[in-house]
A = this chain, B = another copy of it.
Amino acid sequence: MGYKYLDKERGSFQEIIPSSPSPRLRIMTTMSSSASSSHIDLTHHLSTETRLRKANPMKAIWRLTRRKADMISLANGDPHFTLYPIKKVQFEVASVDDKIVDPVQSWRGAGASAPSQSFTTTTHNGALPLKAAMQYSAGAGLPDTQRVATELTDYYHSPPNHVVTLTLGNGDGVAKCFRLLGEPGDHFLADEFSFSSLTNAPLSHGINWVPVKIDKGGLIPEDLERILSTWDEERQGRRPHVLYTVPCGQNPTGCTLSVERRKQIYALAQRYDFIIIEDDPYYYLQYDSMETEEDEDEPFKFMPSFLSMDVDGRVMRVDSLSKVMAPGMRLGWITSNALFHDALVTLVDSSTHHPHAFGQIFLTEMLSSSGWKLSGFDRWVRSLRKEYQRRRDYFLRLFYQEVARTGFASTNAPEAGMFVWMRIHLEKHPRFRADLQRTDGSQAKTNTEELMEELFERILDGGVVVMPASIFMTPGDSSKPEDNSSPVQDRLNYLRLTFAGEEDSMQLGLSKLGQTLKEFFADSKDD
């Protein structure tokens, strides 16, 4: 039941025996995947650069060379595996044995004696032996790694008909989606506050952002619809055809989109023909609401993703291991329709080439029968989810006590992620002004921006680092203002805080923050 696998970069062949063939398995090679798509035609969403990008010319030759089973290759500059100076790679990892009730707690608490197990890979043995893993390989990822990532995605999302392309982590995945779809001059949609490390990326290749308003439930479908339904292509250029969003524990606001909103947004995507880039690094870090008593008998239900409802193939889901394994992994994947997958692989072949072996070895070993298996991964992330929920609860209790009690700030309890979006009640500040007539071209009606800068400086002087909302403001296309009635500059009265850190930092940091707030709101004379 093996199949031949073509090394796409330099063209060697390897025989692959799937270790656990599954009826749900949908591994596709670059060269055959488009054929099986049953999605609607979305070719027009690809950028000109993407459409011009030709597959590696050497692929044409490699394809020809499959005519016989026992071909002798004098073709490729592949170093022989006996010349790799590595013969064993071993990772000591947490045990997720069934007998351990809470794997994350056991791992953290017990120090050197914490129950552990090993993932061991040698030249010829392991879920992904070094002989194959360390050679040139496929842009989409090694077939076995692509398979385990597909099985994992199927388990949590059961997408209608999709293909997995490995990435070098979340940032790489999102940037590749932008490059794939973004035509210079295009407008993309995003939450009005978003993670600027990523929304910064496509600006230099001519993408403009259109910020969509948010409330405590995240992106507001009605505002999205307003933008799209009133879009004037003559005046504003091509209607936005891409939405970038973080549906769970959004960065920076911590918001999570409800199922209802997700459905509304997906329906808008269908009506107005846009692609949803679902960037979901906090998917596994979803929490019970603060009020609900957790039912230990009932396993926690993760929110359905955009991918899970994607009948058209218009969702590109970006998965990351940074928050549940470690950021240094730099390995994730994009799940998309087969057409976009093919285009992604051609982009990979023209940029980063195939993903690194060590990460693929780790991931494949972890999810294989000799490692944690998918069930063990699920135990780990559910245990981790509880750990972060405890941190959130700890943080919020402190927050109410040290900060909210001042009356000058408040927040909502986030249902996912790592962040608390703290609203500053600037309207209580003696120097707050709400009805400014600007002469400097700004549309802001308040002095929110100036006061928040002042507050941020004071917090820094107090020895605490937080993130100001201004840094997350999605850069709109100022030449084409959309809605002057409610400029985002008047909604900068927020700070992003994290509960991912240590208890000591939270305690000291929030205490200082409360103190600074009191001083700031008292000190009306300060100029």
Query: Which A positions have Cβ atoms within 8 angstroms of B?
Result: 9-11, 49-50, 52-54, 56-58, 60-61, 64-65, 67-68, 70-94, 104, 107-108, 114, 116, 130, 133-137, 168-172, 175, 196-197, 200-201, 203-205, 251, 322-323, 325-331, 349-360, 362, 380, 384, 387, 417-419, 460-461, 463-468, 471, 496-498, 500-502, 505-506, 508-510, 512-513
Contacts and interface: CB of A to CB of B under 8 A. Distances in A.
A11 B357 CA distance: 28
A354 B325 contact: no
A92 B86 contact: yes
A53 B202 CA distance: 9
A204 B168 contact: no
Contacts of A49: 204-205
Instruction: Identify which of A67, A85, A91, A168 gathers the most chain B CB atoms within 10 Å of its CB.
Output: A85
A506 B72 CA distance: 8
A340 to B, nearest CB: 16
Given A54-B203, A197-B56, A197-B58, A93 B85 contact: yes
9 contacts: A57-B196, A72-B505, A77-B323, A82-B107, A86-B326, A171-B351, A201-B351, A331-B356, A356-B358
B471 A419 contact: no
A449 to B, nearest CB: 15
Instruction: Please state the number of chain copies in the assembly.
Output: 2
Contacts of A326: 79, 81, 84-86, 130, 134-135, 357
B56 A200 contact: yes
Contacts of A354: 330
A478 to B, nearest CB: 15
Nearest to A90: B90
A464 B61 CA distance: 12
Contact of A79 (B89, B133, B500): B500
Nearest to A78: B500
Contact of A135 (B70, B327, B464): B327
The 3 closest A-B pairs by CB, nearest first: A328-B357, A358-B358, A134-B328
Contacts of A355: 330
